[in-house]
Structure 1
């Protein structure tokens, strides 16, 4: 999914871009209202995150134009604290309103809620449908098995940690499974063929991991 983030504070823009990209979103950044609208018309965005106070065109003006020409979701960021300002933002079509300061993780969660993306887990190029037990890469269903799905979910939820074969057997196959631990190797090999060799790392004599995202 594509996110437009517009804010004239470059540090804020950099931080928010990093947090959204960490969740697997494609981010298009803008530093003023005119640039934000140029991105909107050029890219097929799914959500616009707009700072209220921007040069050239305000976030409110940009929101009005986006809403007049599409059904895309808009989230307004502002340092304003008056209730009438929130009412103004919502009355011109904004779907959400967040006051500064805020934690970037809160913004990402609000954005996911707007997009109906809460049931998805994201890692690198993968989009993991937790309800449908499916894995997508660049929109394509990778047709994974139930065990392969459980394996990638386990690794992603423990990203940055090496999980031994025995740990993976307990977490994915269940503690009552008494098969050969080498079955993990077979399933990892098949999973790599679908998600890409580079995503799952082998640690000889230790186990497997996926790398942690940069904070």
Structure 2
């Protein structure tokens, strides 16, 4: 899982990075809002944790931009304590809002809950190992390619929701990829051949959806 930590206080950034790396996250950092957006567009980000009061672009502005183009989870950090500020942040698209000062361990738990992150996720007869980046069906390694695994991972993160081909291209191939959207269809077809046809539903003219399942 990739977490983007955007905070203009170097010591706080260092502390948070240490906690998240220890918990198994791949950490990307930024010291201001512009750098945060650059990191977002250059990397596949699973969750962005943004300080509200950053130079160049504040956390709310960065949050709005992220939410325009993706369903990446966003958690805002702020010293603001007014309920109106919290309401403003949530209306801007933030998924969670944490007031300073806070315990980094609490922040970590909230981030994991936002991601519904389990090391292993079961989808019927499938086992998806997020840490090892492998998929198994009835105990057999499906030998999924990197793209197939990333597609499955993104569909899991958005289970029950339709994701467009453009969203899949941006998140799996990268924002700088200018290939044909039919590339997605080809890889989805190959993924279905491995995991079973029924898990991923096509919504014509819209995109794909991993139907609801139960985590075990």
The TM-score by the shorter chain falls in which range? 0.5 to 0.7
Shift in alpha-carbon separation, 1:142–1:105, aligned structure 2, 3 A: farther
- The one of 133, 138, 149 equivalent to 1:139 is 133
TM-score, normalized by length of structure 1? 0.59
Residue 195 (structure 1) aligns with: none
TM-score, normalized by length of structure 2? 0.58
Q: Secondary structure at the match of 1:45?
A: coil
- Does residue 107 of the first structure (1) align with residue 101 of the second (2)? no
Residue 79 (structure 1) aligns with: 79
Residue 45 (structure 1) aligns with: 45
Structure 2: gaps of 5 or more residues: 140-216
- Does residue 26 of the first structure (1) align with residue 30 of the second (2)? no
Q: Deviations over 1:33-78 (max 9, x none)?
A: 0000000100010110000000110001100100111111100000
Deviation at 1:137, TM superposition (A): 4.0
Structure 1: gaps of 5 or more residues: 121-126, 146-215
Q: Secondary structure at the match of 1:28?
A: strand
Deviation at 1:136, TM superposition (A): 4.8
Give me the whole-angstrom Cα distance separating, in 2, the residues matched to 1:27 and 1:71: 19
Contact 1:60/1:89 (CA < 8 Å) preserved in 2?
Answer: yes
Q: Secondary structure at the match of 2:94?
A: coil
The within-5 A match list for 1:8-27 is 8-27=8-27
Shift in alpha-carbon separation, 1:20–1:50, aligned structure 2, 3 A: same
Any runs of at least 4 consecutive aligned residues in structure 1 with deviations exceeding 3 A, and if so which? 127-138
The within-5 A match list for 1:85-164 is 85-117=85-117, 120=118, 127-128=119-120, 135-141=129-135
Shift in alpha-carbon separation, 1:134–1:104, aligned structure 2, 3 A: same
Q: Secondary structure at the match of 1:27?
A: strand
Structure index of larger Rg:
1
Give me the whole-angstrom Cα distance separating, in 1, the residues matched to 2:5 and 2:87: 22
Shift in alpha-carbon separation, 1:130–1:79, aligned structure 2, 3 A: farther
Give me the whole-angstrom Cα distance separating, in 2, the residues matched to 1:133 and 1:71: 24
Q: Deviations over 1:121-145 (max 9, x none)?
A: xxxxxx45599887554412489x8
Report how many aligned residue pairs link the two structures.
Answer: 137
Give me the whole-angstrom Cα distance separating, in 1, the residues matched to 2:65 and 2:84: 21
Give me the whole-angstrom Cα distance separating, in 2, the residues matched to 1:28 and 1:7: 11
Deviation at 1:16, TM superposition (A): 0.7
